[in-house]
Structure 1
Amino acid sequence: MICLVLGIPLANAGQTCGQIKGSLLPCLGYLRHPRSIAPVVCCICVRTVNDQAKTLPKRKDACECIKSTLINIPELDPNAVQGLPNKCGVKLPFPIGANMDCNKLGDGMH
């Protein structure tokens, strides 16, 4: 429920990188040891991050934050990372992974 607590005051603002990292904490166990279903709280957090990244600058900031976070966390399963949005039924405006290019985000993404 960490992401819900963080997400309430951010309804009309973008998230800071620290808030994004905090929102994704419930996903770490799954990203290290994936199961057939992602945890519900993790998916809620993924939706929260996505809902806050609606403009191009916010998408780029979120992308850079997620990328730097993924690079610094050991033992993540790259397939679990890449497939997390799909497992949660969320279409992120950018693919996630340690090699994502945040400079290639465009205005046409949603």
Structure 2
Amino acid sequence: MLTVCVIALAPRAQGLTCSDVVEALLPCQTFLKQGGNVPGNCCSGVKSLDKAANTGALRQTVCQCLQAAGKADGVNAKYAAALPKQCNITVGYAISYSTDCSKVH
């Protein structure tokens, strides 16, 4: 329920919402909280999200949504930071609660 509230209040950029971000990462939920093996469908969602976030504004939205939803759902920052590498992508900014999303381009 808290995630739903966070999603409703989180920022949006044209064409991509926090709901989209959370939905893309649902298969990653266990890894993001407990580590272990990354499911293949998790990487599919991560890659799809990376492809959709093709402007600075969209990447900022993804960054902000990751932080808000991650905090609300108890995501382990270490596992979140490792996810892009585990899925063989580069997002261009640190996946971290301390990242200043307004500086993501």
Superposed structure 1 runs of 4+ greater than 6 Å apart: none
Between the two structures, name the one with larger relative contact order (CA 8 Å, sep ≥ 6).
2
1:93: how far off?
A: 2.7
| CA distance in structure 1 between the partners assigned to 2:95 and 2:40 by the alignment | 19
Higher helix share: 2
**Residue 66 of structure 2: aligned partner:** 66
1:16: how far off?
A: 1.2
Superposition CA RMSD, Å: 1.4
Structure 2 unaligned spans of 5+: 1-13
| CA distance in structure 2 between the partners assigned to 1:105 and 1:22 by the alignment | 22
**Residue 90 of structure 1: aligned partner:** 89
CA displacement, residues 1-38 of structure 1 (integer Å, 9 cap, x when unaligned): xxxxxxxxxxxx73211111111111110111111x31
| CA distance in structure 1 between the partners assigned to 2:97 and 2:70 by the alignment | 6
| CA distance in structure 2 between the partners assigned to 1:28 and 1:65 by the alignment | 15
* Mapped pair 1:16 → 2:26: no
Q: Which amino acid aligns with 2:15?
A: G
Identical columns (%): 26
Q: Which runs of structure 2 are paired with 1:16-55 in the superposition (5 Å)?
A: 16-35=17-36, 37-55=37-55
Structure 1 unaligned spans of 5+: 1-12
For normalisation by structure 1, the TM-score amounts to 0.76
Q: 1:95 to 1:14 in 2, by over 3 A?
A: farther
For normalisation by structure 2, the TM-score amounts to 0.79
